[in-house]
Structure 1
Amino acid sequence: MKFGKHAWKKTAAAFLAVALLFALILPGTYPSAAAAGAGTSIVLDGRAIDGAQPLVVKGTTMVPIRVVSQQLGYDVNWNKAAGRITIGSAVSPLVLTLGSLTASSGGGDVALQQAPFVQADTTYVPLRFVGSQLGLGVKWEQASQTVYLETQLERPSTPPVPAAPPTSPAVPSAPPFVPAVPAQPAVDPAPASLASIDGISFSDNRLTISAASAVTPTSTVLSGPDRIVVDLPGSYFGSGLLQNGPLKLGQVATLPIGNSSAVKQVRYSLYSDNPSTVRVVLDLNRAVGYNLYTQGSLVIVDLNDGGAAPPIGTNGKKVVVIDPGHGDQDSGGIGITGVKEKHMVLEVGLKVAALLKQDPRIDLIMTRSDDTFIPLDGRAKIANDAGADVFLSIHGNAASPSAVGTETFYADSARSKLLSDTIQRHVQAATGFRDRGSKQANYVVIRKTNMPAALLEIGFLTNSEEEKLMVQEDFQQKVAEAIVAGLKEYLGLN
């Protein structure tokens, strides 16, 4: 997950600076704390930070932020009499009080697991708070005893620019997927008139291509072997989709498909750079009918019905988007035994999908159904463009080994708190883990969705007992059933 230099950075930087201000002005008392472990290190954006160690206070990992505050600019208003710091603009300030378990932001009051405190001229804050409120990526890796901080969490989205797509080049009757031409650098930077392709996923026999702005796709059916070719004139690959570097003209990337009787794999490439055209090919196991349509800036190839199927949600069904977090190069949290969050949450997500597909009143969309990476903005955009009724992102938590419990987050209280509360109640009862509650947080995927949205943290992979359960099939099935029960209760489909 990567963040560009947006307005949030000033707030994040300002918050980090509070540590320094606290240390200089308020060297007061602090709770009993224990070192996180001998040899514990802090890595900020890939660079080791020297001079301080994390602490564990009542099961909460606290990270020193004075050492990083000096690297970022900030605006701070200090009220000495009240012991209160106001950070950022007057429109959406972040307010903290030394020793208080409550902070406030533009989204309302936020409960902290552990209050900020000062020890030896260093101010410590909870990792969870830093991550959820300010967009910092915070991960604890048990094996190496390392706390990873990442300031670049959200990729800058391509501004939606109305494009007049050029005419698609003609497709020969049976050409190879990509013409045999010498590899050339992809166009960089991309012209403003082009649409960025930010996500490609396949779920429930439906290919979904997410673009930053509207595109006009063309399609062709070819045989020998059977395949469906989709061209997207006036488009290019967004940086979030190609994490391992740009695709040069003539190079092909592959999306493996493991759960379709009709589709063997999905391939995509920069087919042409004049005009810039992205090509996506579905390699088929057999000839099938399909329906190609657009919905907002989504391009959908639906193999479930060879006729003119109505767009998702226009048939009176409830549209549910399930988002298994992370994927591909983004493994998420790492468990005690090396379990990767991306795999565990995908297994749960697929079980949820299998249950939802059994209900004819629901149209299901999966942001990913395999080990694919979708940018954070792209996940929210898939749900927004589909006009979804609910969005649920599924995750596994990571912190100190003593941290335990199930928790669910929402961004907008008026729109999403009831959904978050309902999911938390059902899933916590199923896990039997400590009830950490339903809380407000500013995670990108639930902040940028236009419908009720929640982010579920099933349990802590960094806790040996919870990790042991979360990788078990029967436990995952129980959690999936609880998620579905919560969704149906919220949607009134019981």
Structure 2
Amino acid sequence: MKSNKNPAAMPQPHPRNRHPYARRRLLKLGASLVLVGIDPGLALANTRPTIRGVRVWPATDYTRVTIESTQPLQVQEHQLASPNRLVVDLQGLTLDQALRALVSNVHPNDPYIRAVRVGQFTRDVVRIVLDLKGAVTPKVFSTAPTGQYAYRLMLDLYPADGKPQDALDTLAARATESTQATHNAPASTPERSTQRKLIVAIDPGHGGEDPGAIGGGGTYEKHVVLDIARRLRAKIAASPDMDAMMTRDDDFFVPLGTRVTKARHARADLFVSIHADAFTTPAASGSSVFALSEHGASSAAARWLAQSENASDVIGGLDIKSADHALAPVLFDMSTTQQINDSLKYGALVRESIGKINHLHGNGLEQAGFAVLKAPDIPSILVETAFISNPSEELKLQNPAYRQQMADAIYDGIRKYFASHPPLERRVTV
């Protein structure tokens, strides 16, 4: 016999008792645990966060300590002086081997951390003490699970005196220093057409928590592109009319917006971001060069690669709460047709040079909305040196000779662009 009662009209339980069956199951679980001699509190302890790993990323710009866990960590921190220390209390944790490993992860050459001490401060609190080499400005924040990572607690230690910025200030000052030039000579080379050194901003993609693409043979994109970038910097440094800066010169995370800001602060004349990405199929091969697009990607592959590269901030561990969300849109709105046109000319010359050492992917210079190319006043390109997801190209990237050839090819394109398009006046406004 069917009931004529309307379920929606039946009395509803009080909000505290909306799950009576679940409540009964919990009570039964507690009773059964007592019967078999197991402390219910011990069972509930299994719901506490479990540490999946700890990592330390030392760099001149800042040192990052990452603590990855299965659940969000409740944290309290404070600083002490004489000597300088950062004290971090992790709530609801029991000290385990994973946290103890933090001690051995700190190396003597870390710019900011002298040593780490870890201990069970109270029954429910694990205390971490970072013994510092000097005063720092700490930044502590958490990120939600993304990609291969679970929850992460980030402890970023920045210099209190802002010394890393001084290097960019020095480079910008050197760029404005006058040099001896032959004014009567035809302006066919950069040294004859300008009275200052031309600055190239080199951006090795990814870094730190963000490994970039990983080849089937275990090659990390972030390591390969850093090596190519260093080789390119050496080529530029040997030139009498050019200078170079790098957005990172070590294995640490740099947000996309910060990469652009660094280049602008150094008053760069050109910007090149170096990558070795993966694709959905290992059959994809060849080198590519990209410029910014204001009107969508030039191909589905370009769109896919741009989305992949733009995800670096999330994977690398960006503090969303304090990030300047307006930066990228503002830079994009400021981007002019002239900047993009210059980037296309610059990219075409680099692509032509790269084509002499490797097969070129696609039919020509491509465009997409890469966030790292959005400096409004610097011609900017992104170079995919090879597909690390292709087994044969991964072998190329593992070869120092190929990495040197790639650096030489990019340098050759840069020189050709400066020779035909010397930037006589600066358009940079910081």
TM-score by length of 1: 0.42
Higher relative contact order (CA 8 A, sep 6+): 2
Which protein shows a greater Rg?
2
TM-score by length of 2: 0.47
